[in-house]
Structure 1
């Protein structure tokens, strides 16, 4: 009982309650958030097949372009509480609170409760964390599973620990794979290195244990890949994001090595002009994650230096290897990947940054009588506040006084840290508190305003509300249309008489109409409109069989650039409909009633 009470300390309670308020407050303001995933939750909450495969619609035309574990969590909530923005988003927020709690538990075992509280607050107050734990993308489940895997790996490194902790870590990473595929595997080198260095058994046993853990990853992730591959293709939806209806192709190609090389068949071309080490501090990602990144690197290196003489199995050094390795590998991949990469992906760095700073800063503070440790602390504070001022300057009209305050107070605190040997204990602690507040003030302010701002679309952004990004008003590649009342009424009429009430090119276009009319809408071509699903021949057959009521004309998915790679079936379908059916404009949107008359000829046969 006493151990449990120590774990549930007042500091932890305040941390978790504060995180819950931050992530749950006014959560419904974002509405359906990312309608691409919201439509899939709507489908999965009413159809078991759609839930199993992650279909975009309840009639199971095509899946989302990810494995669906994150959707399963939201599907279950929607089935229990009814489908609504709250039932969809609350599980995401609770997973964020859980991630903070598990991170606290992991860091506490390695460096004590003070380091754990610092790490927990840093994670909770990271802008991109507040963004994604209040949103319905797969990243919330991914991050929770990776933090849980790190905790289990740390437990496996402890004296007399069971190898089953390492197996549990493998299972957690496998579940993370089912949320966001190969991105989950980026932590494995760090997990393996930490256990190989600090595991409690012989080297041979440690290697065998790592093999067992690797098997756990394969089994916990691979069962679903095998299930989809072995399931008859005509009895399941098309696998979105692939060109050959294959989840293996999706895993290795579009969501795998294609993200590294930029060779993503079915993608929309390479928009990356910031490839390199500066990306994480640049205009696209800096405000999401860059605030404490230099501090994390300094704290990791300093922590490893300070523990260099510790026994091989030292838990603090093992934790630094684990979290620092996670940070290094993921940061390098995000910085240099040439394929599709969005700023919010950086939420995967947040736990590693938080843990590295929490552990490393605590070690430096304990060694504050050493001039080298003091110099490292002062330099870290100086770099952090100057970087914060630079990041804040990108929103020059937002809280301009904050830059002045944190730089002035932060530089002063850094100078006093250098004079630490001349300060008394109380003064020293006061200076440390001021320095810490200056380092956290900017990201905390950005986090609060991020949580207070409603977000929607496929690429949400942190910070004060602003326009921009890749969305298009009224519907397009990365935003969804919101049909006006007359169009909604027309599309919803007799919807239960058809397999699909309507069809439109692109999943985001389809999601907007589907959420409005609460009936299946076929997403022709999947997310980008470049998947060969359905083919023109299949679409013609569906029309002839009376399965589709309307075709809605929407923006095609090339974003004004050269035609994308992948299938052009969606273009052929659009042209066939325009040639053979009569256009009607409702509320400014062109639609075609596919039941009014059968076409005189069919180029799809």
Structure 2
């Protein structure tokens, strides 16, 4: 029990940090909260990841994270805690799994450092207190790393198959991003497992098959269901999961050729590409606190590491380098919070590398490398803290330089004096920034860690023309939408998923997201929408502003124009509503018979 006390304290502290005032963020990302609400009401919506319980269209991701939130909402009701708490618990589990994984290769001390670094990385605090799919992605990939280490220890096909299953299910959380760890997992097993090469190749092939089954069964199931018997696949132009996987959420993220996107574009339209991207002002405060330190330790500790340490460094180093390279050079949509996928690797490398060098601290080169790593940490944290708190920045810099000197002279400076100072220098900066992150409510589609940065783009009123912001309907608007809502399939329709999510969450009625997230999906077409109206399935159309994309379908814009030309608008507490009546259709010369 005494040996486990540090781990228990780490997990308890992580739980407090991730759960404290969690409900202050409300619906957080309303896009996913509305889908969780839909899943809590309809098992069909739950399975497909529909944005509304009447199953007009799905979110533009695979739905594994929605399955967790939807089940939680079914059990505990649709509220902020039932939607956000699963992610916080995933964060605690990720810290525990990272500790267990690093401990197997490098011991308890390395595992504790790794877990603490992950727990106190600002972007990790942000995303484990939020409802984007990244929390489940990270948990499953860390689980895959644990299984890979176990497989490598015993040349075990079973453990390697479990690693494949974890990555496959991670694909169902955030699609192709899950596969960025595969080069590291495969090479570590191929090079380090104690078995004949042919046997290892057979094991890897079997694990790959397990991954395909774990991630592909849902894709196959959806593709086999006729389009008219399921919701439209959001984010695709052809109502196809495969298109979504390989296009908008696949190669398009690398090239920038994302049909239906309303921003960015080829050639770095989402920010300058290159290795400096992760250290820049947008991403640096999210993830870069110990990123340079991890790179220094990865290179320097390798020469002093044991064979077991090298397995860990190879695994996490491969994870870090491949993922960082993709994030640095991709031309398509990228947001700073994606970098949470780097946090486990950074934590693991820092833990393994620091302990490996500490064990050899009486070697002058090892002592110099460890000293240099701490000095780099202090300087990096100083640069990131300087604009927020000059006093804290100066404190961290002084502590780091003192620790660097102490580590260089570790043969004469007692460990009890230098180790606490070094840990404080490394963790005080990101820790303070993480606490400030936890103390700030976060909402919208693009959250950002840090003090006073909770609104991001998505929290600004009407941010980006309604694309990223979810409106909060007034009591008067809610009353209108709820009136006679049971007589309709959709109480309302509006262009854009966030516009729909805000009204659906506020009124607790199905709201059709015309055009999907960006308003650029051909779902429904003008003819399909006219048929829904003729059949009396949609009660209101809500006017709202949306950006127009340069690519993708213009069906949503055509629907909005047709509604405006055909029906009479009225304003309810500042919101423009069109009641889609059959009499209005008749006046326009459209009838239910004409639409069949």
SS at structure 1 position matched to 2:289: helix
Q: Which residue of 1 aligns with 2:393?
A: 403
Tell me if 1:469 matches 2:464: no
2:579 pairs with one of 593, 596, 599: 593
Question: Which whole-Å CA distance do the structure 2 matches of 1:11 and 1:125 have between them?
Answer: 16
1:438 pairs with one of 425, 432, 445: 425
Question: Which whole-Å CA distance do the structure 2 matches of 1:564 and 1:85 have between them?
Answer: 35
* 1:471 positional shift: 4.7
Q: Which residue of 1 aligns with 2:540?
A: 550
The CA deviation string for residues 402-431 of structure 1, in whole angstroms up to 9 with x for no partner, is 0111112211221232222332xxx23311
Q: Is the 8 A contact 1:530 1:564 kept in 2?
A: no
The CA deviation string for residues 43-62 of structure 1, in whole angstroms up to 9 with x for no partner, is 00010100000000000000
Question: Which whole-Å CA distance do the structure 1 matches of 2:339 and 2:163 have between them?
Answer: 21
1:153 pairs with one of 107, 129, 148: 148
Q: Which residue of 2 aligns with 1:56?
A: 51
Q: Is the 8 A contact 1:192 1:210 kept in 2?
A: yes
Question: Which whole-Å CA distance do the structure 2 matches of 1:242 and 1:602 have between them?
Answer: 30
Q: Which residue of 2 aligns with 1:522?
A: 512
Question: Which whole-Å CA distance do the structure 2 matches of 1:579 and 1:394 have between them?
Answer: 52
1:334 pairs with one of 320, 324, 327: 327
Tell me if 1:501 matches 2:500: no
Q: Is the 8 A contact 2:446 2:456 kept in 1?
A: no
The CA deviation string for residues 512-536 of structure 1, in whole angstroms up to 9 with x for no partner, is 0000110100000000000000000
Normalising by structure 2, we get a TM-score of 0.96
Q: Which residue of 2 aligns with 1:422?
A: 412
2:157 pairs with one of 155, 163, 184: 163
Tell me if 1:73 matches 2:68: yes
Question: Which whole-Å CA distance do the structure 2 matches of 1:470 and 1:277 have between them?
Answer: 27
Question: Which whole-Å CA distance do the structure 2 matches of 1:332 and 1:601 have between them?
Answer: 58
Tell me if 1:177 matches 2:171: yes
Question: Which whole-Å CA distance do the structure 2 matches of 1:443 and 1:602 have between them?
Answer: 62
* 1:432 positional shift: 2.4
Question: Which whole-Å CA distance do the structure 1 matches of 2:332 and 2:202 have between them?
Answer: 35
Question: Which whole-Å CA distance do the structure 1 matches of 2:552 and 2:262 have between them?
Answer: 9
SS at structure 2 position matched to 1:56: coil
Question: Which whole-Å CA distance do the structure 2 matches of 1:80 and 1:600 have between them?
Answer: 47
Q: Which residue of 2 aligns with 1:300?
A: 298
The CA deviation string for residues 55-106 of structure 1, in whole angstroms up to 9 with x for no partner, is 0000000000000010001111111112211111111111111111111101
2:442 pairs with one of 447, 455, 471: 455
Q: Which residue of 2 aligns with 1:283?
A: 281
2:317 pairs with one of 316, 319, 324: 324
SS at structure 2 position matched to 1:284: helix
SS at structure 1 position matched to 2:366: helix
The CA deviation string for residues 276-319 of structure 1, in whole angstroms up to 9 with x for no partner, is 11111111111110000011111112232223xx5xxx322111
Question: Which whole-Å CA distance do the structure 2 matches of 1:256 and 1:393 have between them?
Answer: 37
Tell me if 1:195 matches 2:189: yes
* 1:504 positional shift: 0.3
Q: Is the 8 A contact 2:257 2:332 kept in 1?
A: yes
Question: Which whole-Å CA distance do the structure 2 matches of 1:404 and 1:298 have between them?
Answer: 23
Question: Which whole-Å CA distance do the structure 2 matches of 1:540 and 1:472 have between them?
Answer: 33
Question: Which whole-Å CA distance do the structure 2 matches of 1:471 and 1:101 have between them?
Answer: 32
- Unaligned runs of at least 5 residues, structure 2: none
Question: Which whole-Å CA distance do the structure 1 matches of 2:302 and 2:67 have between them?
Answer: 40
The number of residues matched between the two structures is: 584
Q: Which residue of 1 aligns with 2:17?
A: 22
Q: Which residue of 2 aligns with 1:136?
A: 131
Q: Is the 8 A contact 1:78 1:84 kept in 2?
A: yes
Tell me if 1:232 matches 2:226: yes
Question: Which whole-Å CA distance do the structure 2 matches of 1:105 and 1:161 have between them?
Answer: 19
SS at structure 2 position matched to 1:134: coil
Q: Is the 8 A contact 2:122 2:433 kept in 1?
A: yes
2:560 pairs with one of 568, 574, 588: 574
* 1:468 positional shift: 5.0
Tell me if 1:109 matches 2:104: yes
The CA deviation string for residues 248-277 of structure 1, in whole angstroms up to 9 with x for no partner, is 000000000100100000111313222111
Q: Is the 8 A contact 2:444 2:456 kept in 1?
A: no
Q: Is the 8 A contact 1:154 1:315 kept in 2?
A: no
Q: Is the 8 A contact 2:287 2:340 kept in 1?
A: yes
Question: Which whole-Å CA distance do the structure 1 matches of 2:33 and 2:550 have between them?
Answer: 26
* 1:215 positional shift: 0.7
Tell me if 1:257 matches 2:245: no
Tell me if 1:247 matches 2:233: no
1:484 pairs with one of 464, 474, 486: 474
SS at structure 2 position matched to 1:457: coil
Q: Is the 8 A contact 1:123 1:350 kept in 2?
A: yes
The CA deviation string for residues 444-499 of structure 1, in whole angstroms up to 9 with x for no partner, is 00111111111110111101014553554147111100111211111111111110
Normalising by structure 1, we get a TM-score of 0.94
Question: Which whole-Å CA distance do the structure 2 matches of 1:246 and 1:389 have between them?
Answer: 48
SS at structure 1 position matched to 2:411: helix
The CA deviation string for residues 111-152 of structure 1, in whole angstroms up to 9 with x for no partner, is 111111111111111111111111111111100000000000
SS at structure 2 position matched to 1:555: coil
- Unaligned runs of at least 5 residues, structure 1: none
SS at structure 1 position matched to 2:290: helix
Q: Say what the alpha-carbon RMSD is for the aligned residues.
A: 1.5
